[in-house]
Structure 1
Amino acid sequence: MPLFDSITKAAKDFFIEEASPGGPSVAAVAVRALPGQPALFPLGSGAATAAAPLLTQPEQRHLDHIRQLLSGDGKDFMAFTKIVTSLQASGLSGPILYQTAFNAFAAVTSLDLPALLKSAEQFELKLTSDRNSILERHREKVGEIRIPNVPLSPLVQLQQQEQQLQTGLADLARQLEEAQQRLQAVRQQLQEQLLKATAALASYELAHATASAELKAHQQAVHAFLLK
């Protein structure tokens, strides 16, 4: 019977640690919200100091991290989700999908529904705790908080270097403005001294011309009146 074959296959998949190459991974199942339940990672959650890049899929290292985080003992909620995924691939959906999956899960593990839900809560707590740790590390990495006895991250070091350079540039700008003011004052003094020197030369030339003309006049008078 097709239904019996599906349950048998689901029970077999139950003991396989990784999903088949053609099926979704454990991490992919883990982040899929159940009907009527909010998503584990709502969009826009968490504080961000810069615009996050638009990603179409997570990095492999993050998928591996989540997969490791959600790895269980084969008798927990993640194992149940693998049964659900297997039965879903056979065409089941809705209440009959989850009821059939639970029946297969309970038959293999002898666990009841409260134990299954308790296991789901434990995985949810693990995800929440891990995300809080990652967010704290991210805040420390970008300089929002300081964790004692933790070396400064390269990003924070770059921020400090940027601040030092900005301070240096501001000081250079102040020095440049002061130098420009001194230059303007020197140019004004230079202009005044040039005008003064030009006026002095003009005055001298006038006095010199007057004296020279007077001397020439007396010299001509001597030649005219005394040398006859």
Structure 2
Amino acid sequence: MNNNNIESGKNISPTQSQLSHFVAKGIEKNFGGIKALSNVNFEINRGEVMGLVGDNGAGKTTLMKAISGAQLCDSGSFYINGKNVKINSPLDASRIGIQIVYQDLALCENLDVSANLFLGNEIRYFDNLKFIPKILRPLDHLSMEEQTKAAIEKLKVHTITSMRTKIGFLSGGQRQSIAIARAIESDSSIVLLDEPTAALGVTQTKEVLQLVK
């Protein structure tokens, strides 16, 4: 990481902190003598798409990791709807509605579309009967497939026709669509995309960018 870091002198007023959906104020991160993030300030409104551009080593990934709780910043504050929030772990970020889609997508190629969308959050029969151990409750595959189809249609993705298709048979753009759908369906209000079009062809890149819009 070089000295071409993310730096901003723009200050966010208290009024802006209350009006914007997400606000970062004075975010800083050092790695030894290297200043990766220096007084980073920005705000994001609901429905807004913000792009982070910079050279390799400029601090883009460091900032995303700080917002997603994967890396603690040395100083600064985050606000959601005017309320100061602490993001000390990915679980903290998830609880307040922040999800990140990493470049490797973290999808299981041997599982189908619906299984990936609900991975770790599967729908099971008898979910209202808490006295039955979760491991003994069978998976409700039909409900998961129906909800997955609805999520895909909501994002206007028309190239995935079967929710039972294994991820390994999908294109890069289709996989990215599944990863984004999973982040959105987890009740998140902020979705961070790390290099969403890396290693994609021209057509697939257009599909992903249209999906983001």
TM-score by length of structure 2 reads 0.27
TM-score normalised by length of structure 1: 0.26
Which structure has the larger Rg over C-alpha atoms?
1
Q: Which has the higher helix share?
A: 1
